[in-house]
Amino acid sequence: MKLYLGLDSSTQGIKGIMIDVEKGSIVRSEAVNFSSELPKYKSVDGVLSNPDPLVKHSDPLMWLAALDLLFAKFAKNGALLGDVAGISGSGQQHGSVYFNSASEGILAKLDPRKNLPEQIAPALSRKTSPIWMDSSTNKECREISDTVGALKLQQLTGSPAIERFTGPQIRKFWKNSLDEYENTQSIHLVSSFMASVLSGENVSIDYGDGAGMNLLNLKTLGWDAKIADATAPGLLGKLLPPRPSSNIAGRLHPYFAKYGLKPGIPVAVWSGDNPCSLVGVGAASSGTAVISLGTSDTFFAAMKTFKVDADGYGHVFGNPAGGFMSLICFRNGSLAREKIKNDCGVDWAFFDGSFKKTIPGSDGNMMLPYFVPETTPLVLDPAPVLAGRENFRAGNVPPDVKIRAIVESQIMSMKLHSGWIGENFSTVRITGGASRSAGICQVIADVFQAEVQKISVPDSAALGAAMRAANAVAGTSWKELSAKFAKTTEKILPDTKTAELYKSMLAKYAELERRRGG
């Protein structure tokens, strides 16, 4: 029996899924939560505290402690790790890790008698990692854009300069910590960092994740030398050449034999969580949109042709199955939904039941969903929006109306800002924790006037990583993998009677956004 293991190193934890391709089954899954299971790292929901609300960093050693613990859980619970024939993974996009010149020797000589954090710590030239939630690089974005040209940067890399993207983060590091930057030999994303530890050597970033750096030229699929020079001196020498998502990064280091894994099995190149989710939900080919409802909400789809968003909010990444994918990120995802729930003093059962007690459109009530800095549209300071956010027609609005209003507004924002893709999607696949809500699914179906499909496995990034391992190692086709692991479990049809209502509301929401938030 040959199994394939997919790992997902996300914002709040790490997950692992083992699949049996021949049987089309998930053999076992395990997870580690950073906050509850690794309290020594003093991380709240995966993020270190900082007096500046725009700065969001994590401890990369925490991710390694979680990897050790995850494998220990698999072994303790009887997982057949010895039957794993290949591994791949998914990393939270945009987060970066910095290695010094000692890293190569340290990675090669990992000692199974010690844990990963204590061994890797001396290899780090930077002790913390800026992650996708960081919004502190607005100045650096402007500097890169001014040097390269804002439009040219977007046309080459698929995105304008974005605060959370790795290039601006690297520029800020060079400006503020020159000695540490010069002591950096190689720069990794979360994905390539984790793959490097598994392989015992520095390995490359893939096209899918590399596209989220403002450094990868999507026309040549190589690092752009002029953009790298505009970002930081000597940067090109700190980046290994990017590679296709289907490549093998290396071979599993003997360190991991202590958990029952076979040394030397292939480690496929890791990718970002969104590219992995794309294939994990069976949307590797164009025509199907995907909405992931998580800490942040994302809207993504495989692209028929390469194009960029004229407004600068949408992005283009590499599709692990080949070609490109579009993506729009909405930072106020579950954060906004949970804030409204808490403000209303209700539980999740009441939250989901609200959709049955209210009417579509809530009689015109809507609100801008910005509680923390937003990326789509760019709202660095939500305070002025918070002061006048509510656009309710009546003064005293019941909790269930507020709940419908926040969800409808979030989905209308997705509809509004996904128009640049140029496709009228008839099918939307949904994943993430909030996909369990029947009410939210119906709102998505009605706003988009599309069939919403739920899939069998909610952890699409980890599943996509396991599927990528099977594709890279065994050559299993995406068509076969999607048919076996991305099965539809439920379909929600749109109420066609709401089509004109939401079309009218979308125009009003766009005006509200222009007036107060955009």
Domain of residue 248, CATH code: 3.30.420.40
According to the model, what pLDDT value does residue 138 have? 94
Residue 467 lies in a domain: no
Regarding whether 291 and 265 lie in a shared domain, the answer is: no
pLDDT band with cut points at 50, 70 and 90 for residue 391: low
**How high is the pLDDT of residue 517?**
52
Judged against a pLDDT cut of 90, whether residue 99 lies above it is answered with yes
- Residues 267-290 have a mean pLDDT of 93
Give pairs for 256-264: CB < 8 Å, separation 24+.
256/71, 256/198, 257/112, 258/112, 259/71, 259/72, 259/74, 259/75, 259/81, 260/74, 260/75, 260/79, 260/81, 260/82, 261/71, 261/81, 261/82, 261/84, 262/82, 262/84
Quick check: is 295 in a domain? yes
Which one of 223, 250, 269 terminates a domain? Answer: 269
Could you tell me which residue, 481 or 373, shows the higher pLDDT? Answer: 481
Show Cβ contacts of residue 324 under 8 Å, excluding neighbours closer than 6 positions.
158, 218, 302, 303, 306, 316, 317, 318
Residue 477, token pair as written in the block: 């086709």
Main-chain phi, psi angles of 176, to 5 degrees: -95, -20
Output 464 or 515, whichever has higher pLDDT: 464
Same domain, 345 and 245: no
Structural domain of 331: 275-455+487-518
Which of 259-263, 278-282, 283-287, 483-487 tops mean pLDDT?
259-263
Q: What is the pLDDT of residues 103-146, one digit of tens each?
A: 999 999 999 999 999 999 999 999 999 999 999 999 999 999 99
Q: What mean pLDDT do residues 63-79 have?
A: 98
Pair 266, 248: CB distance under 8 Å = yes
Which residues, other chains included, contact 8 with Cβ-Cβ below 8 Å and sequence gap of 6+? 14, 15, 16, 89, 90, 91, 273, 276, 459, 461, 462, 465
* Mean pLDDT confidence for 320-333: 93
pLDDT, tens digit, for every residue of 497-512? Answer: 999 999 999 999 999 8
pLDDT score at 390: 58
Q: How confident is the model at residue 52 (pLDDT cuts 50, 70, 90)?
A: very high
In a domain, 501, yes or no: yes
Q: Which of 269, 301, 325 is the last residue of a domain?
A: 269
Read off the pLDDT of residues 327-376 as tens digits, 9 standing for 90 and up. 999 989 998 999 999 999 999 999 999 999 999 998 888 888 898 888 89
Is 290 found in the same domain as 147? no
Phi/psi at 325 (5° precision): -135, 150
184-228: pLDDT as tens digits:
999 999 999 999 999 999 999 999 999 999 999 999 999 999 999
Report the domain count for the chain.
Answer: 2
One domain for residues 304 and 255: no
Q: Are 204 and 245 in contact (CB under 8 A)?
A: no
- What pLDDT was estimated at residue 387? 63
Same domain, 206 and 311: no
CA dist 49 and 130 (Å) reads 12
Residue 474 lies in a domain: no
Give the separation between CA 212 and CA 209, rounded to whole angstroms.
Answer: 6
Same domain, 217 and 279: no
Q: Indicate whether 258 belongs to any domain.
A: yes
In a domain, 22, yes or no: yes
| Residue 468 lies inside a defined structural domain of this protein | no
Tell whether 109 and 226 lie within a shared domain. Answer: yes
In a domain, 466, yes or no: no
pLDDT digits (tens, 9 = 90+) for 296-307: 899 999 998 889
Residue 99 shares a structural domain with residue 136: yes
Average pLDDT rounded to a whole number, residues 16-32:
97
- pLDDT, residue 382, reads 84
Residue finishing a domain among 269, 284, 318: 269
Where does the pLDDT of residue 457 fall: very low under 50, low under 70, confident under 90, or very high at 90 and above? confident
Cα(401)–Cα(311) distance, rounded to whole angstroms? 31
The answer to whether residues 291 and 150 belong to one domain is no
Identify the residue with better confidence: 348 or 516: 348
256 and 367, same domain (yes or no)? no
pLDDT tens by residue, 411-422: 999 999 999 999
Is residue 247 located within the same domain as residue 280?
no
Do 303 and 227 share a structural domain? no
Report the mean per-residue pLDDT for the chain.
94
* pLDDT tens, position by position, 221-247: 999 999 999 999 999 999 999 999 999
Instruction: Give the pLDDT score at 324.
Output: 94
